[in-house]
């Protein structure tokens, strides 16, 4: 069997590996939640500010904001469900193939596992002994973690991903929606712009820190993108409002 992508989980120290894997999963979910909230903030802010450029009617703003919130959150949830379902199907297919190969050619699979462990710095003798012990304990789990980088006990869940994206986008979208409908007419756009830029500063900083990157540039990009989106949609809305379109 040809070697697959180099795994990222450690072959030994199962206890430490479980904690590292769980931590990595939590960080990935947290990062996805922050980015989903960021999408909700920017897209809804652009929508309601654009409508505010055309009309000061509170009902029109609320209707547009709610429609954008629901459309965006449902789109995010559906897209995440499809994406993660595809990933889960791939993981299941890879495990099924590995299970079949372990049944049909156990010695070849043991040799393959030994070679993978050697490439991680173990001596041939130690790698062989480790491969034998791992295979005796649970050959499928050993190959899944070392060869495929998959934890067979914790496959990705598309429903969890869908709900997380839905809730994150909704939470982000509520900020500009409330900011545009609650203040008096003359304060709606300034309050919305200020609150959105502050929120984008927070999400940009958080996403950068979760990715172990410098926050300065990430915050600047995030704020600049949101400001540009609101400026463009407000200009378009003002133009359409002035022409009566």
State how far the Cα of 30 lies from the Cα of 100, in Å rounded to an integer.
36
- Quickly state the pLDDT bin for 8 (edges 50, 70, 90): very low
Tokens of 21: 């894997």
Q: What is the pLDDT of residues 12-41, one digit of tens each?
A: 444 444 444 455 555 566 777 788 899 999
Tokens of 32: 């996805």
- DSSP per-residue string spanning 17-33: HHHHHHHHHHHHHHHHH
Q: Within 10 Å of residue 221's Cβ, how many Cβ atoms?
A: 13
Let me know: does 31 contact 210? Beta carbons within 8 Å. Answer: yes
Please state whether the predicted TM-score (pTM) of the whole model is above 0.85: no
pLDDT at res. 171? 94
Q: In this predicted model, which residue has the larger pLDDT, 15 or 184?
A: 184
Q: What is the pLDDT of residues 213-226, one digit of tens each?
A: 788 888 999 999 99
Q: 241: buried, middle or exposed (CB in 10 Å: 19+, 13-18, 0-12)?
A: middle
- Non-local (6+) Cβ contacts of 25 within 8 A are 154
Q: Within 10 Å of residue 12's Cβ, how many Cβ atoms?
A: 14
Q: Helix (H) and strand (E) counts for the chain?
A: 7, 0
């Amino acid at each position: 069997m040809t070697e697959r992508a180099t795994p990222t989980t450690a072959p030994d120290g199962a206890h430490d590996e479980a904690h590292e894997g769980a931590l990595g999963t939590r960080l990935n979910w947290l990062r996805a939640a922050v980015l989903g909230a960021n999408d909700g903030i920017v897209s809804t802010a652009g929508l309601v500010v654009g409508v505010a450029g055309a009309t000061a009617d509170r009902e029109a703003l609320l209707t547009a904001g709610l429609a954008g919130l629901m459309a965006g959150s449902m789109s995010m949830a559906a897209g995440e469900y499809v994406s993660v379902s595809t990933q889960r199907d791939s993981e299941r297919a890879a495990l099924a193939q590995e299970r079949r190969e372990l049944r049909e050619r156990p010695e070849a699979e043991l040799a393959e596992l030994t070679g993978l462990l050697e490439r991680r710095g173990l001596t041939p003798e130690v790698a062989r002994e480790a491969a034998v012990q791992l295979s005796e304990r649970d050959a499928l789990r050993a190959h899944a973690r070392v060869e495929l980088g998959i934890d067979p006990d914790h496959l990705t869940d598309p429903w969890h991903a869908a709900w997380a994206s839905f809730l994150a986008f909704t939470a982000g979208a509520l900020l500009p929606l409330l900011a545009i409908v609650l203040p008096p007419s003359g304060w709606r756009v300034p309050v919305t712009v200020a609150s959105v830029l502050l929120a984008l500063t927070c999400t940009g900083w958080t996403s950068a820190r979760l990715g172990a990157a410098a926050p300065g540039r990430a915050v600047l990009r995030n704020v600049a993108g949101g400001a540009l989106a609101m400026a463009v949609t407000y200009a378009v809305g003002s133009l359409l409002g002035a022409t009566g379109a």
